[in-house]
Structure 1
Amino acid sequence: MSVAPLRKKSRAVFWIAAIVIGSIILATALFANGMHNLRALDARYHLDLFKGAAQQPPTPAVTAAAAQTATGQAANPKPAETGAPRSPPANPATTTAPARAPVQTPATPAKAPAAAKVKHARRSHLFDTPVDALRGAFIRSWRTTGPMLCADLIKSGLPVGEWRQSALGVGTYECSYEIQKGGNGDSNAASFFIIIRGTPAGELDNIRIKVIMPDNVDGRAIGETFIDGVVQLLTETRWLDFQTALEAIGKLQDVTQRAFGAKLAFFREFQNDRSFNLQLGLERKTPEEIRTGIVFDKARWTLPSPSPVK
């Protein structure tokens, strides 16, 4: 026995049911909320489905007083002025009052259909012009701490000592190291001085090195110590793009590099041709860098930062 006709009948019933249900859903969507969606569709595609719905404004009706006056004048014309005696007035009780014209009530004008509200598509603000007052910038931070950097320099051969409170005040901590070869006041004396400063919490502020390298054996030895210390600092801070300044520093040429709110400067002192300074630290000057620095300044946070996961 074949079941093909039953399958065809089942498919037909399914499609008829689907069309009926779809039509009901479509009609509900179009006619809901006072045919809001249908009016929007009409306005979008200019179908003019509601063009004849608007009624013409009615003609202003004649007031009741004007109609009554006109009727009274037509029913009782004024008698002519003659010499004949006037007849006595008729009994008011038996006098028929003139018929009054029906009072016409002004028709209330039909309300025009409400204009369909055009839905504006949501617009992304991703490509809007940045607002200067809110613009930020990428900034650098120290990738190490004061105690860690001091410990690493000690391991590399610079005995800077432990991270300790500075003589400048309670809010400053530092570690430093100084070596001098030659007597005080000797023009051929060589010296090396490094100081690393920061906060009691271990956050770094700046690093400074001052070196005097005369053209003699002591000066060349100090120069090697200086270069080794600079390479160690740039390695520990992990600001590897500043390593491009090592070539100029090795040639004792002035060089300044800035990137992402950090600065490296190496320059010769004006009064001594063999005396040099190196400065490494954070320097945020632009408004964008300052705004970003304020956001990530832990001292301004109202809630403590979470402790690191052990």
Structure 2
Amino acid sequence: MVPLRSNHGRLFWPALLAVLLLAGTAVFYHQTRRVENPVGPFEHRALNKTARLPGIAVHTATTASSPLPPKSVSRHLIELPKLELTSQFLRTWLASGPHICGALREGGIEMSEWKAASMRNRSYECYFQRIYERNEVRPLSSTFLRVRGNEMGEIVDIGAKLVGPETDAQGRLSPAVLRIFELIVKQACWPDFEDTLGSIQNLRDVEHERFGSYLSFTREAGSENNFNFALGLRATSGPQMRTKGYFSKDRWLAAPNPRNVPANAILMDHLDTPISAHCAR
């Protein structure tokens, strides 16, 4: 029996030593991994904490993946041009034909009413004519004035003709006739033409083209005592022609109307409304 116990003692201690050696090796290897990768535990804890806060996780994902808000094209890029803004870029009549005709009547010039020139003519006009002296063939002294336009009241031009006008001792035009041209220039609201009134008063030829408009007062060819006057629009330069084309209603197509109102009616509302004079004097 003694030899048997002795053998067991010799086997027990080496086995215990081997187990302890393996356990120590495992602990040492684990500690070595923790030292080499110290961020791992913190990342693990952070992930666990994020998982417990689903709102934050969803918000982050939504923010990262949400597209840019949609952009719409402004209405102002496709709106029809507003006629009341034309005068800021191009010379325009700032008063309607009926308005100027009424202003001339108020100023003592017996102008007719604004009406169609004839039954078959779409031109509209008001005019004044007075014959002071005539022979069997023609007037020897007369004054004729006409404001011409269309049925919407838009002015095309203003013209006048003086035959044998009355003058004073210095050869200057009588104040009663000069008053006509003063009123025309004033009601047209184009003050840059006011300096032509001195030439008209002295019956001297004057022709001016300024910023898309013209004024002329000239002696009639072949006659020493007949004079013609004209005032109107004339866009000549490239920028003026392009601006005039932009504001012209003829170049704008009728856009679809969601309310099924005829598009031409909208176009008329924007572009065919006569404008009254607003210049200060």
TM-score computed with the length of structure 2 as normaliser: 0.55
Give 1:285's match in structure 2, choosing from 226, 229, 236. 236
Q: Does 1:154 align with 2:105?
A: yes
Match of 1:251 in 2: 202
Change (3 A) 1:287 1:273: same
Match of 1:207 in 2: 158
Match of 1:271 in 2: 222
Single out whichever of 238-247 and 278-287 deviates more from structure 2. 278-287
Match of 2:180 in 1: 229
Alignment gaps of 5+ in structure 2: 1-87, 255-265, 275-281
Q: What is the correspondence of 1:76-225 to structure 2 with a 5 Å cutoff?
A: 138-167=89-118, 169-185=120-136, 189-213=140-164, 223-225=174-176
Change (3 A) 1:276 1:168: farther
Following the alignment from structure 2 to structure 1, what is the Cα–Cα distance between the partners of residues 234 and 123? 18
Following the alignment from structure 1 to structure 2, what is the Cα–Cα distance between the partners of residues 300 and 223? 46
Following the alignment from structure 1 to structure 2, what is the Cα–Cα distance between the partners of residues 150 and 170? 19
SS of the residue aligned with 2:147? strand
Q: Shift of residue 187 of structure 1? A: 8.4
Following the alignment from structure 1 to structure 2, what is the Cα–Cα distance between the partners of residues 282 and 187? 32
Q: Shift of residue 222 of structure 1? A: 7.6
Change (3 A) 1:235 1:213: same
Q: Shift of residue 207 of structure 1? A: 0.2
Q: Shift of residue 139 of structure 1? A: 2.0
Following the alignment from structure 2 to structure 1, what is the Cα–Cα distance between the partners of residues 179 and 110? 13
Change (3 A) 1:201 1:215: closer
Q: Does 1:240 align with 2:191?
A: yes
Output the amino acid matched with 1:282. Answer: L
SS of the residue aligned with 1:248? helix
Following the alignment from structure 1 to structure 2, what is the Cα–Cα distance between the partners of residues 204 and 187? 30
Following the alignment from structure 1 to structure 2, what is the Cα–Cα distance between the partners of residues 193 and 235? 19
Identity of aligned residues (%): 29
Change (3 A) 1:148 1:216: closer
Q: Alignment length, in residue pairs?
A: 170
* Cα deviation code 1:10-29 (max 9, x no counterpart): xxxxxxxxxxxxxxxxxxxx
Q: Does 1:294 align with 2:242?
A: no
User: Contact 1:147 / 1:202 at 8 angstroms: preserved in 2?
Assistant: yes
Name which structure has the greater RCO, CA cutoff 8 Å, separation 6+.
Answer: 2
SS of the residue aligned with 2:208? strand
Following the alignment from structure 2 to structure 1, what is the Cα–Cα distance between the partners of residues 120 and 239? 31
Output the amino acid matched with 1:226. Answer: V
Change (3 A) 1:221 1:241: closer
SS of the residue aligned with 1:171? strand
Change (3 A) 1:286 1:185: farther
TM-score computed with the length of structure 1 as normaliser: 0.50
Alignment gaps of 5+ in structure 1: 1-136
